[in-house]
Amino acid sequence: MARGRSLLAYAATRGLLAIPMLLILLTAVFFILRVLPGDPVLALWGGREPPPEIVEAARHELGLDKPPWLQYLDYMSRVFRGDLGRSIGEFYRGKPVWGEISSRLPATVELSVGSMLVASSVGIVTGVVSGARRDTRLDVVLRLYGTVIWVIPIFWLGVLFQIVFAIWLGWLPPHGRWQGTDFPHPVTGMYTIDSLLERNPAHFWTALRHLVLPCLTLGLVLSGFFTKTVRANMLRTITADYAEAAHARGVPGRKIVTRHAFRNALVPVVTVLGLQFAILFAGAVITEKTFSIDGIGLLLLESVVSKDMTMIQGIVVVYATIIVGVSLVIDILGAVVDPRIRL
Amino acid sequence: MQRKSLIIAIVSIIIVVVIIAAAYLALVAFKPKYQIELWFNSDGHYGDTEDELATVLKNSIEACGKVQVTLHSDIWANYRQLRNQGRLPFFLLGWYPDYGDTDDYISPFMGSSGSPSFGSFYSNATVDQWIDQEQTSTDPAVRLARFTDLQNKLADDVPYIPLFSGYSETAYASGVTGVELHPISFKWFIVDKPNSAVLNASTTDDITSLDPALAYDYFSIELVNQIFDTLLVYEPVQARLMPGLATTVPTIANGLVSADGRNYTYNLRPGLTFSDGSDLNASVVKRSIDRAIRLNDPGGAAFLLYDTGKLGREATNGNNTRVGAITVAANDLDITFHLSAPVAFFNDLIGFSVAAPVPWDYNQNAAQPDAVGSVRGSGPYRLTGYTGNQQFILSRNPTYHTPALYASFGIPSIPVEDTVTINLRQSSTALKNDLSVSPKLADVVYRSISPEDLADLQSQATTLGITVEVAQSPFIRYLVFNVSPTSTAAIRDLRVRQAIAYSVDRQAIDRDVFNGNVEPLYSLVPPGFSFSAPHYQPVFQTEYGDHNCAAANNILSTLGFSMFVFRDLVARDH
């Protein structure tokens, strides 16, 4: 019998594997951006055509007159020094890329975490109930929910929520992260956390109210995936030998579901959580647009439009690092929960 | 036997149907037509209606029966590059004027030096001479004659087809007053919310810079105009210049413009200061102009001063203005600009935000940071809050030089409100929601409301307790033909361009795309604005009209369209 690796060794191996993954991604993004049509230098001048000598001077200043391989080496060496460069786009020209990203990141993190909470809680509950009540009316309804909610366009659901909960009922703000001028004192940039840090319940309530609709929108759409995955796993675990054995021993059905089937059904769900974060970030772009949340997704949209190569690269680096980091943590968690993974 | 007969009958019927269908396709559907490609922007550079606009244009041209239009689109960064490279044969563009003079609707389009940047590459020596004459003459009669010649030539040669002048729109809570859709510069400092010192506003715009030397997009300029005054400013409603930091608008009549139109003198008000208390004198004005020209930011408008305004930019003078181009009097209140050639609309350029004076300690080698305390001007408001990409707060400038500046227009003191909070939104729907929820999240929403949301707000105005206003804007939209020698044969053929000019249906654009909010345009010069002598000549209306298919097809028939097909293969993706 092969000896299982220690958790530390497993974590170290996964961590080391993440490095070439990031390198490949950075390289791919760097070269893809350079072969796409459209001149980022000309884009600086908006609708006008500047004299050629001015264009060349700008190209030189931005280092875009160097051979691509030299630009690549410059870029990689700067990335490893933690310098993502300065924006070359129309909107953020000359501003540090990390400065812009870091000012927007808290909004996206807040939205993503909130949405993931909604997605996982709604998805897991519906998945478990659906799996435990297989082939009942409730199961059919929940399966239908899982399928329909997963294919609903985020912007459509968002607008629907805005109309119902903000305009008709007036319960929640329709968009934005804050209303008024007394923003929480910035520490993390996440208004919910910052208002808790300053122990201001009114501020926390304001921040939370602004988060509800966007998190519900994105979270519910993603919950469809969890519903279907958890249900499928529940069906597998609820008919597994250990569940049958428990049933034979007279363990109540509810207990079998909660103590045995549910726990084991969650293991594969945890492993795909990392992938869900990637989908979450993609969905966050649309959610931020719909709810006027000034996050990193909107920054990416603006950067693509203005052909801001350094900003796009910076955002991809940050996205990739977050997703790789989350995947790493989830892999390690999976290994903790199920030691067989380390084998 | 019967079954065999039935099968034969069915097969016979099928063969007959196929033959009839093939004949129809050969005679009607595959009838040779001119093939042209119409390009439009796909990423919202001109708003969300661009695909609808392109489709309506395609339909109106194709409805005449002899031209087939293929639509192509690209994002703005690529679109403008293809345009500049002369790779777009026929495409949609838009123009917002830099200065309030008819010249800004003519010379950049038709002059040999300006037309390549519009992708038309139109060049005509006589036209260049006419442009030179209208730019340098201060005689209104001469300018009118030249503008008439130029517009007639535009209709004759058809390098562009004017389509419509745009509109600006705003919606605000009932009771709010002073919301003026100014053609050049929206003024938050004249808006009044009764019984309140704070005005909440929303917009979908965002800034690129609050440094006057760099600001060259609508919202940046809009904010700069609240925070910085220029020597001349615009009246509250009309696009007419009036004294701002200067005491008088220079004219030849008052002796502040030399007879040859090359020297402009401005007398500053005494005792001017910036909001930080530092002095604003003629030396500061000169330093500010030199700074803008020296920085010459790629996205900025410094070219309006050194090129259009003929102040020059000399490497031997540290990339400042030409030596001797700006002189300051000993009293440090009078400043004179010595132009290398007369510029009839120099006052308009001095009223533009790029010419706004900035404090002496502004960064002389780079952009001034967009931060509270860093942005300091001499306008009615100060920047007192800036939450990155979310909110701007403008507060009363206690040292504003002339609060009674607009008293003669019925506004006793500016700014009217102590504070204006401008929240940045990401969509037109968000602006609509700001006025739809209870209580309202905004008192005024300004730019940009989509035609659908605008119609929605108009229909609910009474229920929501709001006022919706739509006004003409100096923004124009037009079609461009690339007439360079390297362009496609069909587009270079004047008769094809004229046929398309006959075909386009401006009324359909207005009705189907913009819900009746735009004004059909028959010259590149828009009508109805109080620019200095707009000289509007509706040459395309008299020469081509709208959707005149008979005339279009007459021209195309002379080309023998049924004998051959023009097929222009220029698209990047072909």
What tens digit of pLDDT does each residue of B426-485 get? 889 999 999 999 999 999 999 889 998 999 999 999 999 999 999 988 999 999 999 999
Instruction: Closest CB to B75: pick one of A44, A298, A305.
Output: A305
Which residue in chain B has the smallest CA separation from A296?
B389
Q: Are residues B426 and B368 in the same domain?
A: yes
Q: Which of A5-9, A15-19, B14-18, B375-379 is the most confident on average? A: B375-379
Pairing label, strands B334-338, B67-74: unpaired
Contact status, residue A111 vs residue A295, Cβ threshold 8 Å = yes
**A305/B423 CB distance under 8 A:** no
pLDDT over 60 at B364, yes or no: yes
Q: Chain A contact for B65, CB < 8 A?
A: no
Please tell me the total count of domains within chain B: 3
Nearest chain B CA: its distance from A186 CA (Å): 11
**A45/B367 CB distance under 8 A:** no
- Residues of chain A contacting residue B438, judged by C-beta atoms under 8 Å apart: 170
pLDDT value, residue B562: 43
Question: What integer is the mean pLDDT of A158-175?
Answer: 95
Strands (E), A132-218: none
Structure tokens at B360: 């002496």
Q: Are residues B83 and B118 in the same domain?
A: yes
Surface-to-core class of residue A171, CB atoms within 10 Å of its CB (0-12 exposed, 13-18 middle, 19+ buried)? exposed
Q: Chain A contact for B85, CB < 8 A?
A: no
Question: Is residue B152 assigned to a domain?
Answer: yes
Q: Which of A64-73, A129-138, B309-318, B398-407 is the most confident on average? A: B398-407
**A298/B81 CB distance under 8 A:** no
pLDDT over 90 at B92, yes or no: yes
- Residues of chain B contacting residue A60, judged by C-beta atoms under 8 Å apart: none
Instruction: Closest CB to B80: pick one of A42, A178, A179.
Output: A42
Surface-to-core class of residue A238, CB atoms within 10 Å of its CB (0-12 exposed, 13-18 middle, 19+ buried)? buried
Kindly indicate the confidence band of residue A291, based on its pLDDT and cuts at 50, 70 and 90: very high
**B424/A162 CB distance under 8 A:** no
CB count in 10 Å sphere of residue B175: 14
Q: Are residues B432 and B514 in the same domain?
A: no
**A294/B424 CB distance under 8 A:** yes
Nearest chain B CA: its distance from A37 CA (Å): 6
CATH assignment of the domain containing B524: 3.10.105
**CA-angle at B155, arms to B153 and B159, nearest 5°:** 85
Q: List the helix and strand counts (H, then E) for chain B.
A: 18, 16
Structure tokens at B421: 């909070």
Strands (E), chain A: none
Kindly indicate the confidence band of residue A136, based on its pLDDT and cuts at 50, 70 and 90: very high
Contact status, residue B530 vs residue B180, Cβ threshold 8 Å = no
Nearest chain B CA: its distance from A196 CA (Å): 20
**Out of A114-128, A224-238, A271-285, B534-548, least confident range:** A271-285
H/E stretch holding B165 reads: strand B160-173
Which residue in chain B has the smallest CA separation from A46?
B299
What tens digit of pLDDT does each residue of B507-561 get? 999 999 998 999 999 999 988 666 666 788 899 999 999 999 999 999 988 876 4
pLDDT over 90 at B69, yes or no: yes
Q: Are residues B332 and B195 in the same domain?
A: yes
pLDDT over 50 at B566, yes or no: no
CB count in 10 Å sphere of residue A131: 25
Q: Chain A contact for B363, CB < 8 A?
A: no
Annotated domain spans of chain A: 22-80, 103-342
Q: Is the dihedral of CA A65, A69, A70, A75 positive or negative?
A: positive
**A170/B385 CB distance under 8 A:** no
CATH assignment of the domain containing B309: 3.40.190.10
Structure tokens at A315: 């955002």
Q: List the helix and strand counts (H, then E) for chain A.
A: 14, 0
**What is the ipTM, given to two decimal places?**
0.78
Contact status, residue B434 vs residue B447, Cβ threshold 8 Å = no
Q: What is the DSSP letter of A259?
A: I
**B84/A47 CB distance under 8 A:** no
What tens digit of pLDDT does each residue of B94-124 get? 998 888 889 999 998 999 988 888 899 999 9
Mean pLDDT of chain A: 87
Q: Where are the alpha helices (DSSP H) in B91-217?
A: 107-110, 125-136, 140-157
**B77/A38 CB distance under 8 A:** yes
**B441/A39 CB distance under 8 A:** no
Q: Are residues B25 and B38 in the same domain?
A: no
Q: Are residues B458 and B498 in the same domain?
A: no
Range of the domain at B379: 175-464
Instruction: Closest CB to B299: pick one of A93, A174, A307.
Output: A93
Q: Are residues B124 and B253 in the same domain?
A: no
Surface-to-core class of residue B573, CB atoms within 10 Å of its CB (0-12 exposed, 13-18 middle, 19+ buried)? exposed
CATH of A103-342, one of 1.10.3720.10, 1.20.1080.10, 1.10.8.60, 3.90.700.10: 1.10.3720.10
Q: Are residues B16 and B45 in the same domain?
A: no
- Residues of chain B contacting residue A94, judged by C-beta atoms under 8 Å apart: 366-367
